[in-house]
Amino acid sequence: MIALIQRVIRARVRVEAVEVGAIDRGVLALLCAQRGDSEREADALLAKLLAFRMFADAQGRMNRSVVDVGGGLLLVPQFTLAADTASGTRPSFTPAAPPAEGERLFTHFVERARDRHPQVATGVFGAHMQVELVNDGPVTFWLQVKPKEQNG
């Protein structure tokens, strides 16, 4: 499972001009399930995201997590993160989980996030969304948890 995470001052997601999720200071996470992913990968990725130190401490070093700073999480499904761009000029989405499986794992991720963190907002799986953000830094990281058989 993949997450492209960005430290934000604020972020929001709209569907058909209606705001469906928004946060102030926190993390915008674009999420993608790949073929072979399961709840195990989703849970491991969530644990990593919640503990990932990307906020400054008193000395200005990235030593604090979104949990430490009491920030929000905006979770947005984005299957294009799994794109295979190795050849040609048109991406292949074969590595992405099938839509029903991707939605199931996104929903699982969101439910677990809400169990573990007080402020969680989301986008809408399968919808055409507009995502607005003010990246703080900019600070952006790619997190990935591969299924056990791929960890090799």
Give the mean pLDDT of 98-103: 97
Res. 35: pLDDT tops 80: yes
> Is residue 78 annotated as a catalytic residue, yes or no?
yes
> Is residue 130 annotated as a catalytic residue, yes or no?
no
Give the mean pLDDT of 44-59: 98
Res. 18: pLDDT tops 80: yes
Give the mean pLDDT of 26-45: 98
Which candidate in 80, 94, 130, 150 is catalytic?
80
Whether 15 is covered by a domain: the verdict is: yes
Q: What is the pLDDT of residue 150?
A: 55
Whether 64 is covered by a domain: the verdict is: yes
Whether 152 is covered by a domain: the verdict is: no
> Is residue 80 annotated as a catalytic residue, yes or no?
yes
Q: What is the CATH number of the domain that holds 124?
A: 3.50.80.10
Whether 133 is covered by a domain: the verdict is: yes
Which candidate in 79, 106, 109, 125 is catalytic?
79
Tally of structural domains, the chain: 1
Q: What is the pLDDT of residue 152?
A: 47
- Look at the block and give the residue holding tokens 């969101």: 110
How far, in Å, are 32, 43, 85, 111 from residue 82 at the CA level? Answer: 7, 18, 9, 22
Whether 151 is covered by a domain: the verdict is: no
Percent of the chain with pLDDT over 90: 96
Q: Is-contact 30 90, C-beta < 8 A?
A: no
Q: What is the DSSP letter of 68?
A: H
Give the mean pLDDT of 53-77: 98
Give the mean pLDDT of 83-92: 93
State the Cα–Cα distance between residues 1 and 147, nearest whole angstrom.
Answer: 8
Q: Which domain holds residue 25?
A: 2-146
Give the mean pLDDT of 59-86: 97
